Amino acid sequence: MNPSNASPEARVVAFYLPQFHPIPENDAWWGKGFTEWTNAAKAKPLFRDHIQPHVPADLGFYDLRVPEVRAAQAEMARASGIEAFCYYHYWFGGKRLLERPFEEVLASGQPDFPFCLCWANATWTGIWHGDPKRILVEQTYPGEDDFRAHFACLLRAFRDERYLRVDGKPLFMVYKPRDLPDARGLAALFRRLASEAGVPGLYLVGVSHGDNWSPVGDGFDATVVQNLPGLTGQVPWRYPLLRARVRARGHRLTVYDYKDIVDRFVPDKTRDVGYLPCLIPSWDNTPRSGMNGLVMQGSTPELFRRSVRQALANVAGKPPEHRLVFLKSWNEWAEGNHMEPDLRDGHGYLDALRQELQATGAAK
């Protein structure tokens, strides 16, 4: 198993968003200096008891071009029992976006903290600003030459001693495996290229989004079961004025009580070795989507703790290398979906995770 910070009870891996530094494309699309903070900071409450904006505590409104920020994130994650970051990786037919933070981690060797990559293979649209038909950059699949170039780009990361491995194999994830034109063909090609490069195989993981995607059928090893609820345009009865606004204006704002859905996040199928639980501490993407967003109202560290306990119980019977638990996510601030401390809950979510990992270990 990897590194000293890995828990014997579970291998907790947190999704990590790199969109906290400006890039020319975002400048052109959204205005000079745009980062994830732009949406997060300008958010406002849309209804009674709605907690917005989420304001970062310990790390402030950071810039991921700063090495000290990346080091502080790694130390905070390590202290809470997180084994690795899973960096979102963007590849659009040879074009990369938001690659700078990870490239600097790779080139510098710092922080000395494990990582893996998730190909976030989705078209970027203007959906965050209410314009879903506007295509910013399209996800394409040009064919084998492009897949080979993509693998060559990934190879340096796979060879890094910090790269997260399962049974000695680098873990590589595809966020939307159903979108691949030939998932089984891509899996076979990447495994063959890994063998030719002297890499001892790949552990290929896809993400299922409530669609019962089967990894084995597409030549993958496992799936992260991400049970986010869908948009329904439904609002609890205790918000009558908000319900009226949603109906009258054709919005799709959907509000769930976190306590009512938290037990859905870790289904029984994640007891199987090929199905990996995904913890969701909170969710509120109204900073991006406004009245067409999804809100999990009333999330607390104590409610999140229930989900952690279930995930740890579900992976306990798996071989140690396969006790993977994914966490969505480390720092998706404009989706209200972050483990990093904010001014409201401080280290509450990190403490709940750490305490449950420690309690599970002590009980054995």
| Residue 1 covered by a domain | no
Prediction pTM value = 0.96
Amino acid identity for residue 5 in this structure? N
Q: What is the pLDDT of residue 8?
A: 75
Task: State the pLDDT at residue 33.
Answer: 97
Q: What is the dihedral of CA 186, 199, 108, 35, to 10 degrees?
A: 20
pLDDT for position 130:
62
Please indicate, yes or no, if residue 3 is contained in any of the structural domains: no
Give the structural domain span for 336: 11-362
- Report the alpha-carbon distance of residue 241 to residue 260 in Å, rounded: 22
Point out the residues of the chain with pLDDT beneath 50. 1-4
3-state SS, the chain, equals CCCCCCCCCCEEEEEECCCCCCCHHHHHHHCCCCCHHHHHHHCCCCCCCCCCCCCECCCCCCCCCCHHHHHHHHHHHHHCCEEEEEEEEEEECCEEECCHHHHHHHHHCCCCCCEEEEECCCCEEEHHHCEEEEEEECCCCCCHHHHHHHHHHHHHHHCCCCECEECCEEEEEECCHHHCCCHHHHHHHHHHHHHHCCCCCCEEEEEECCCCCCCHHHCCCEEEECCCCCCCCCCCCCCHHHHHHHHHHCCCCEEEEHHHHHHHCCCHHHHCCCEEEEECCCEECHHHHHHHCEEEECCCHHHHHHHHHHHHHHHCCCCHHHCEEEECCCEEHHHCEECCCECCCECHHHHHHHHHHHHHHHCC
Flag whether 6 is in a domain. Answer: no
User: Residue 6 has what pLDDT?
Assistant: 61
- The total of structural domains in the chain comes to 1
Is 128 contained in some domain?
yes
Where do we find the tokens 């938001």? 98
Q: According to the model, what pLDDT value does residue 277 have?
A: 98
Output the domain CATH number for residue 349.
3.20.20.80
pLDDT of residue 1: 44
Distance between CA atoms of residues 55 and 49, nearest Å: 16
